[in-house]
Structure formats: C-alpha cells, structure tokens
C-alpha cells in the first residue's frame, strides 16, 4: 500500500539520520529548540504575535502569486521582504531590546558569563531590606501616602539616579515615611534601591511606551512604574495615594492588591536565590532576637 510505503521510507530516513549523528548534533538541536521556544514565548508576550499572523498571510499571498503568475503582487512582496527585517527591528525596537535584555539577565546567561554574585551576599543584603520595604509599604498604605520604590537589578539605572538626590542610606520604614511624606522636598519622585540600600530619592522615571493602552484610572505613579519596568528589569512598587493599594510593576505589567505577606514572598523570590531559603529563616530569627529588649530575652 502507498501509505505504508511512505511510512517505511520516512522511518528509514529517520534511522539513517540518527546513525550519522554525533554528540555535537544533539547539542545543536537542544540550542535550536531553546531558541525556538524563547522566540515563541516572546511572540506570545508581546504585540509581535499579531505581526507573525500578518507575515504568514503575506507569505501565503506570495506563494499564490507565484502559482498563478501574478507578477505585480510577486514583485511588490519580494521588495517588501527585502526590507522587512529592518522594518521589523525599527517598529519593534522596544520589544526586541527587552527580549535581548531578558535573555542576558536569565540565570543561564548570567552563570555562563560568571555575572551571578554570591548567594550568601544577596541574602545578607536583601533580607533586612525586604522586611523594611514591606513594613514601610504597609504603613504608607494605611495612611494612603503615595510611594514609588524602584528596586534595581541587573540593568543599571544611572540615568534615573542622576536626576535624583543621592542618599546611599540604610532602608528603614521611618526613612521611607520621611521621604514620601507629602510636601517634603523628596516626596515627588521615586526611590531607587541598589544592593539593599536606598541609593537615591526624588528620581523621575520614563513614561510607558504604550501609554494610550493603559487604564485611564491609573495615576502618574502607576504609569511611571509601568514605564520603568518596560525599560529595565527593575521591580517597581507603588502605593496608591487615592486608595492605599499596593501594586508591583514588572516587565511592563502591573499587578495589584498586594498584602505584606504577598509582597515579601515576591521580593524574596526575585532578589534572593532559592538555595538560601533555609538560611533566610536563620537570618530572620537572628534579627528578631536583636530587636527584642534585654529584659524580654530568655534568661
């Protein structure tokens, strides 16, 4: 039967390919699979997904034009395809930049380039800072005091830091409260944190790239948070001045209704490697014991 013959030929072809493969070929296939997976994920997360549908439609039209000898359409589409890659890079420059930055900031890329610092150092820097950030956000939320806290990661925010006021201070809920207290000199702008320290305050952040698509009910702080997260891998925390609601912006997406526990879990997951979870408990207990008054300690 023709169908069985075709299957047998396909199976023999597959076996012949497998017999000639060497270990480097498997590595080649694995890398190609990862690139394809990352590309598909990138398409799904951005408006570039609609672009792929449009390109697929043009390819079908081009094939039909070739089949039916539609010379004018074929010629125009060939010229379009010649400049298509450059046009895509220009139109989708923000998305392409974010995708490349995200790839560079991935754990695989960082370990390959030996850019990942000591996990113990990260835990020591960020464990007390996360506690202070969460305490401050809860307190600011209870009084409906607007706040904007940017946590720098791998993308350096030198441009935003330059337009602010350098503090280089140890974070505390009292300091956050003083910074964001209405009508104080530093309240209008964002706090930028680096390596568990408050590096600068009163920093102005970039506008979002797709501002017209953002919910009109969101205020300037939320828009600035989205804009900052679009332009970097920073984690941006917002406390609403109107409702006291705590929100977080990452990768151009704003999520809302954070409690203290939820915010603490998110920051711990993002800023401290997972292998330090057991050590975090020890560090937290150590800080808790230090905070207890001498007469309250166990005899």
**b (16+ CB within 10 A) / e for 201-210:** bbbebebbee
Q: d(Cα 259, Cα 190) in Å, to the nearest integer?
A: 21
Q: What is the mean pLDDT of residues 161-186?
A: 94
Same domain for 132 and 270, yes or no, is yes
Q: 296 falls in which pLDDT band (50, 70, 90)? A: very low
pTM value is 0.61
Task: Examine the fold and report which residue of 79, 112, 145 is the final residue of a domain before the chain moves on.
Answer: 112
Q: What is the mean pLDDT of residues 117-140?
A: 88
Q: Classify 229 as helix, strand or coil.
A: helix
Q: Which of 8-17, 63-72, 86-95 tops mean pLDDT?
A: 63-72
More reliable by pLDDT, 7 or 77:
77
Task: Determine contact, residues 122/272, Cβ cutoff 8 Å.
Answer: yes
pLDDT at 268: 94
- Name the domain count of the chain: 2
Q: 43 falls in which pLDDT band (50, 70, 90)? A: low
Same domain for 278 and 141, yes or no, is yes
pLDDT at 297: 38
Same domain for 224 and 127, yes or no, is yes
Helix ranges (H only) for the chain are 2-20, 23-45, 48-67, 71-91, 93-105, 107-112, 119-142, 158-162, 173-180, 220-231, 260-271, 277-291
Q: What is the mean pLDDT of residues 186-208?
A: 94
Q: d(Cα 296, Cα 299) in Å, to the nearest integer?
A: 9
pLDDT at 99: 65
Q: The CATH number of the domain where 226 resides is what? A: 3.40.1700.10
Please determine, for residue 128, whether its predicted confidence score (pLDDT) is greater than 90.
Answer: yes
Same domain for 22 and 74, yes or no, is yes
Same domain for 141 and 224, yes or no, is yes
């Amino acid at each position: 039967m023709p169908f069985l013959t075709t299957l047998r030929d396909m199976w023999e072809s597959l076996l012949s390919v497998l017999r000639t493969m060497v270990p480097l070929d498997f590595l080649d296939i694995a890398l190609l699979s990862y690139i394809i997976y990352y590309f598909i994920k990138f398409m799904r997360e951005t408006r570039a997904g609609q672009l792929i549908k449009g390109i697929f439609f043009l390819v079908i039209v081009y094939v039909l034009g070739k089949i039916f000898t539609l010379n004018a359409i074929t010629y125009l589409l060939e010229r379009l395809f010649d400049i298509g890659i450059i046009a895509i890079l220009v139109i989708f420059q923000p998305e392409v930049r974010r995708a490349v930055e995200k790839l560079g900031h991935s754990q695989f890329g960082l370990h390959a380039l030996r850019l990942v610092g000591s996990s113990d150092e990260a835990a020591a820097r960020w464990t007390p800072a996360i506690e202070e950030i969460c305490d401050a956000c809860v307190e600011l939320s209870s009084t409906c005091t607007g706040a904007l806290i940017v946590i720098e990661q791998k993308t350096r925010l030198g441009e935003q830091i330059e337009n602010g006021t350098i503090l280089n201070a140890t974070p505390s809920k009292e300091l956050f409260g003083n910074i964001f207290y209405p009508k104080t000199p530093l309240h209008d702008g964002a706090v930028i944190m680096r390596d568990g320290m408050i590096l600068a305050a009163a920093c102005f952040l970039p506008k979002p790239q797709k501002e017209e698509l953002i919910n009109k009910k969101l205020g300037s702080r939320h828009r600035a948070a989205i804009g900052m997260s679009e332009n970097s891998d920073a984690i941006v925390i917002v406390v609403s001045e109107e409702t006291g609601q705590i929100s977080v912006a990452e990768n151009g997406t704003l999520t809302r209704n954070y409690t203290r526990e939820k915010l603490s879990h998110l920051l711990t997951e993002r800023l401290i490697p997972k292998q330090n979870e057991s050590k975090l408990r020890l560090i937290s207990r150590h800080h808790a014991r230090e905070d207890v008054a001498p007469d309250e300690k166990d005899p």
